[in-house]
Amino acid sequence: MRIKLKREHNMDREEHLPKLANMKCQRVKAGGSFVPSGQDEVVEDEHLLSEPKSDHVAVDGVLCYHEEYLGKHYDIENLSCELQCGLKRDTGGLDSYTTLEGDDLKLDALDGLLDDVEEVDDFDAANGLSSACEDYLLDFEYAEKAQENDPSPRERSLLGNSSSESQSSGLSASSTGAGGLLESSRMPIPKSECKKDYLGKTVICELHGTSRNKCPCQPTIGDNIYGYSLDIQNPDEFDNDDNSLVGVASSDSAEACQISALREKRLRKRTQRYIEEFSGLKSKENIPIATSKNKCGRSDNKFHHLRHRALRKGQGEKSISETSEVTLSQLRLRWRLPKKEVSFSPVGLESDEEPFVSDSEDDSMAKRRSRKHDRRKHQRMWTLSEVIKLVDGISEYGVGRWTEIKRVLFSSSAYRTPIDLRDKWRNLLRASYAKVNKKVAEQKQNASRLLPTSVLRRVRELAKIHPYPSGHSSKKSCVGEVASPAVPTQDKGAPICLGRRNVSRKNSP
């Protein structure tokens, strides 16, 4: 999105702009559900790919096949020239597009491009770093160009600076002139390719420089180069953006895999792998996980927010911080961590659990599965709030109505299945029994890890009411009894059970 907008703004020829703008908007909206959009787009892409037309080619090229095309159809020089032209005009560099876009073809190409971008974004979308991918892609092209073109040294220097800046700055860099330049340069490339005829030759100075800068070393071209450049360049970006990248990689990995499988070959593969590795290495940084569910919002917001969040982190949003701001690495750890951290989060606060982690988690999970065939889904700690919800749900709906409870209380948390609820309940019961038997003393000892007494009490009560195995004894519908018998150990003054839960449900069936 951002890029697109940028382009529009940048475009010198505003006449065309409106068109593009509209188109873009539509697309975006239509795509609105970034994730879902994938299918259609994919189809399109394929279609495009199949077709030899330059326009399509351009698009494709952007995504994956860029190299081939370059080799076959284009003179890099031309491209670079065009690109540069665009760049020259303004740092935005999108101009090239604008010029190109005048034609329908151009538009198409653009759309395709955009779509692709969006798709890419989709991946990221979850995480909200749309730009990262693009940058990534662009970089590739970039590298290629660099290789092919012979940039003049001086140019290089110029661009070099800018490029470096952009990288360093990370995503935000785009905003900066340098960043903009880079992006623009990259973006235009595809078009320029298509259009190379059009622009034919403008001067490339700047571009070359940039490209050069980045990948001065690469002698050869081709996949190797591709990878090469990638490695070289990305690190920086990753560092800066790694959040986004990582997030991206993690997010939607499943979808990504599917979609990517179609076209993306090396591009995505590398990225993911790369990302993963990096993520592993870079546990250091915190990656905020997107909390908001709506995808659109996400993509846009994330980007900006990420940093802010990082900054804010220290502050005290307990509940939120816990959930929302989890690094990938942290997340992993967290799965294995003792409950403490999680369980103690303030109960009420978590608006809940799920939003934040769910996406990232799912992604990560998917990722892992895909990678390792791990069957076991990584454990997700039950938070106190969750437990409470569960208990409430059970009290309300009765034991055994896991799906109901799931639906009502845990609808937000995708990762909790009815079975999970049941299992959790089972464990709670066990715990409650244990406690009862052992008495308070132990509770105190373990207190830190254990559930709050209130919860325990409730669990116990429920347990009495319905013994886990559905074979509930219809026994006590009434509260009074329940409270009295076993619970002595604790001081609970008032019978908790009564108020809320009706036992009735259970009996009925």
Binding site for DNA (CB under 7 A): 375-380, 382, 399-404, 415-416, 418-420, 422-423, 468-471
Contacts (Cβ under 8 Å, ≥6 apart) of 414: 354, 358, 362
Cβ neighbours, 10 Å, residue 423 = 13
CA-nearest of 303, 268, 267, 269 to 287 is 303
Residue 326 beta carbon to DNA: minimum distance, rounded to whole angstroms: 16
Contact 259, 139 (CB under 8 A): no
Closest to DNA by CB, 344 vs 415, is 415
3-state secondary structure 347-372: CCCCCCHHHHHHHHHHHHHHHHHHHH
Pick the closer one to DNA by CB: 204 or 328. Answer: 328
The contacts of residue 220 (CB under 8 Å, 6+ apart) are 147
Nearer to DNA, 329 or 358 (CB): 358
CB of residue 112 vs DNA: minimum separation in angstroms? 37
Look up tokens 């990638």; give the residue: 230
CB closer to DNA, 140 vs 402: 402
The Cα angle at residue 72 between residues 120 and 260, in degrees rounded to 5: 20
Cβ neighbours of residue 101 closer than 8 Å, sequence gap 6 or more: 11, 16, 19, 20, 107, 110, 191
Residue with smaller CB distance to DNA, 36 or 469 = 469
> Considering beta carbons, is residue 306 or 462 the nearer one to DNA?
462
Contact 58, 275 (CB under 8 A): no
Report residue 325: phi and psi, to 5°.
-100, 90
Q: How far is the CB of 441 from DNA (least distance, A)?
A: 28
Q: Which helix (H) or strand (E) holds 445?
A: helix 440-446
Q: Could you tell me the smallest distance in angstroms from the CB atom of residue 505 to DNA? A: 12
Collapse the DSSP code of 22 into the 3-class scheme (helix H, G, I; strand E, B; otherwise coil) and give the result: helix
Strand partners, 288: 325
Residue closer to DNA by CB (options 173, 342) is 342
Q: What's the Cα-to-Cα distance from 206 to each of 171, 226, 239, 355, rounded to whole Å?
A: 21, 21, 25, 44
> Please, which residue, 148 or 353, has the CB nearer to DNA?
353
Neighbours of 201 (CB within 10 A): 15
Residue placing its CB nearer to DNA in the complex, 283 or 403: 403
Cβ 248 to DNA, closest distance in Å? 24
325 forms beta bridges with 288
CB 191 within 8 A of CB 96: yes
Residue 383 CB, nearest distance to DNA (Å)?
11
Give 43: exposed, middle or buried? Use CB within 10 Å, 0-12, 13-18, 19+: exposed
Nearer CB in complex with DNA: 79/421: 421
Give the nearest distance from C-beta 390 to DNA in angstroms: 12
Q: How far is the CB of 410 from DNA (least distance, A)?
A: 11
- Dist. CA 124–CA 147, nearest whole Å: 28
Nearest approach in angstroms of CB 364 to DNA is 13
Rounded CA separation 416/410 (Å): 7
Place of tokens 């406690």: 435
Q: How far is the CB of 386 from DNA (least distance, A)?
A: 10
The least CB distance from residue 335 to DNA, in Å, is: 8
Residue nearer to DNA on the CB measure, 307 or 369:
369
